[in-house]
Structures are given as structure tokens and as C-alpha cells.
Amino acid sequence: MKIHSVPTNIVLLCFLFPSLGWTQNAAILSEWKNYNRELHVGIGTSNFLGDLGGRNQIGSDFIWDLETSLFKPSVSVGYGKYFSPYLMFRSDINYFRLAGDDALTEEKFRHNRNLRFFSNTVDLAACAQLILPLRSWESHRYNLRDQRGRLMGSKYKNNAFYLFGGLAFVYSEPKAKYEGHTYKLRKLHTEGQGLENGAKPYKPITLGIPVGGGFRYALDRQWILNFEITYRFTISDYLDDVSTVYYDNASLANNFGAVSAALADPSLGYNWGDQLDPTKAGRQRGDDTDKDGYLAIQLGVTYRIKTNPNQPHGLFSSRKGLKNKGMGKGKGVKKSLF
């Protein structure tokens, strides 16, 4: 009996293992289809990268000019829908407090310029997200258990790194304080917008390009913790109201009032050598070749919505393993199949 039982079991396993593999793949497929929508909330910090403030050096592009003392709050709320286990479409509403201040840099030209701003920036983003699973159900596809009855391998398949990119509508209205009052800088025409040879007027709404990545850690099938870093490029150079050159200050005062002139040029009055007046009309005020952007770092919570509450998780989704299917007793398959 024992002599014939081994070949018999081998023949049975030739049929059993492929069917187990097929069933497991079906379970994976059914897992993401059963939880193919999610809601997420994130909270963290944001930082502006533009013409104002920055490090103690001549302004440089991107994050190399980050002013670490100006990290401000950020909040996001969003919705996502999976189109496969590895691809999701997400839409988010995001709030960012942005600020820049020349007084914080020791670089002499920017420090003398002495411009500053803040804004409550909101954007609506739509992104495609690529999911890179860190762990998979495949590591225990046959539902084997250790001596304590615990599943061998990963418990969940939702731990993953991810990358995303898309488009966003950005609303940003730069403001500044003067003598105890807050003013919208766009309405003060600080670079001569609307006047002869002045800069072109800008709108508070622009386009952004969010790109980023993160890591998600599954607490269970429905609750996930996120860590995410995003950078938003924009097509505007006026998130901080600074882009081109100084306009004649007397003309600003005559056309838009004393506050316009004061906030257009609050410089400290320094000069160096041949630059007798570094803030006179026509001198560089900003850099319109380098558009503005902002960075966000957030921790978040995601809730995956069960699409079909009556659909089971799948053969191998249960912690109770094979015993639920009548294929074993006790805590699961612990003895050799031979």
C-alpha cells in the first residue's frame, strides 16, 4: 500500500498544484476587483519654490533653493479607482499654505529686495498612479502554515511603492501685509500690469503638473497608511507675484496708489559698485525663465471600498486556510502531502 501511495500522490499533485495556482490567481484578480475604489485623506507640510526667499546663495532651480524654515501646513482629500492591480486613477483636492520671504536669505541681492508673500493655494488634481507591489499573495499561494498555525509569507498584498503623475488646476492668490492690513498683490499691479510697457496681467488660476511617489502599508484589506512626496510644477511664474522687472514706482503710485508702490519695492536701499539703484525701473525683479512650483510631504490614511459586499474574499484570503474548504483539519496543512 505504501509503495503504491507515493506515485499515486505524485499524480494527484500534478493536477492539484496547477489548479491551486489558477485558483490563487483568480483570488488575486477578485481581490482588487472587490476593492477597486478607495478614499484617502492626507495631512503634512508644504514648501514654495519660486523667486522669493531661498538659500543663502544666488537663486537656483528646483529643490536646491528650498527655505526649510517656511514649511507650512498641507491637507488633501481624494478618491481613487483601480483599473488593474497595478494601475489606478486618482483625483484629489489639495490645500497648501505657501510663503516666501527675502528677509530669510543672506544672499545680498535678494535680501535687499525684501519682497515677501503668502497664499492659501488650492488645487484639483487628476493623476494616473502606477503601483509597485512590495509583497504578494504568491509567497504563500498554497496556504501553508508554520508550527504555530500562522500563514507562511506575506499576510496582505497591498504593501507597495507607487509613482504618479497628472494635471491639476491650481488656484493661488498671493498676498502681503502692509501696515497691519492684508492686500491681494495681483490687484496692486506691482510689475505695471495694465500700464504701458508693463508686464502682462496674470490670473489666479493656472495649470500644474503634479508628480510624486510614496509607500503604502496595509493594516488590513481596507485600511492603508500612506507616506507621500509630491512636487507640483506650474506654468505660472506669478504664484509669488514676482516674475520680470521693476516698474517705475512713481507711475505705480499715481495709477494704483501708495500701497502698490510700497509693496512693489520695499527694498532696503543697499547698492554695490556700479549698481547705484538695483531696484530702479527696468532692473531685474524676478526670473521669468524659471516657473514656480511647490513641494508637499504628507502622511495619510486610505480606506478601500468593498464594491460587492456579498462577494467572498477568495479561497486563500481567509486566515483559516484550507480547513474552511474541507481540505484539512485543525490549524491548516501542517503535515507532508505525501
Whether the CB-CB separation of 305 and 35 falls below 8 Å is answered with yes
Tell me how far apart the alpha carbons of residues 332 and 149 are, in angstroms, rounded to a whole number.
7
Tell me how far apart the alpha carbons of residues 42 and 29 are, in angstroms, rounded to a whole number.
28
Give me the long-range contacts of 281-285 (CB less than 8 A, separation at least 24). 281/245, 281/246, 281/247, 281/248, 281/249, 282/245, 282/246, 283/245, 283/246, 284/245, 284/246, 285/113, 285/115, 285/191, 285/242, 285/243, 285/244, 285/245, 285/246
* Average pLDDT of span 7-28: 42
The more confidently predicted of residues 157 and 330 is 157
Least confident of 5-9, 150-154, 169-173: 5-9
Residues 99-144 pLDDT 10s: 999 999 888 888 899 999 999 999 999 999 999 987 554 445 555 5
What percentage of the chain carries pLDDT values higher than 90?
Answer: 57
Residue 114 is predicted with a pLDDT of 94
| pLDDT tops 90 at residue 28 | no
b/e burial code for range 230-255 (CB count within 10 A of at least 16 → b)? bbbbbebbbbbbbbbbbbbbebbeeb
Residue 63 is predicted with a pLDDT of 64
What percentage of the chain carries pLDDT values higher than 70?
Answer: 70
* Average pLDDT of span 264-278: 80
Residue 9 is predicted with a pLDDT of 47
Domains, the chain, ordered by start: 36-307 (2.40.160.20)
Residues 214-243 pLDDT 10s: 999 999 889 999 999 999 999 999 999 999
Whether the CB-CB separation of 243 and 199 falls below 8 Å is answered with yes
Phi-psi region of 95 (alpha: psi -120 to 50; beta: other; left: phi over 0): beta
* Average pLDDT of span 244-264: 96
Tell me how far apart the alpha carbons of residues 87 and 127 are, in angstroms, rounded to a whole number.
11
- DSSP secondary structure letter of residue 42: E
The more confidently predicted of residues 307 and 100 is 100
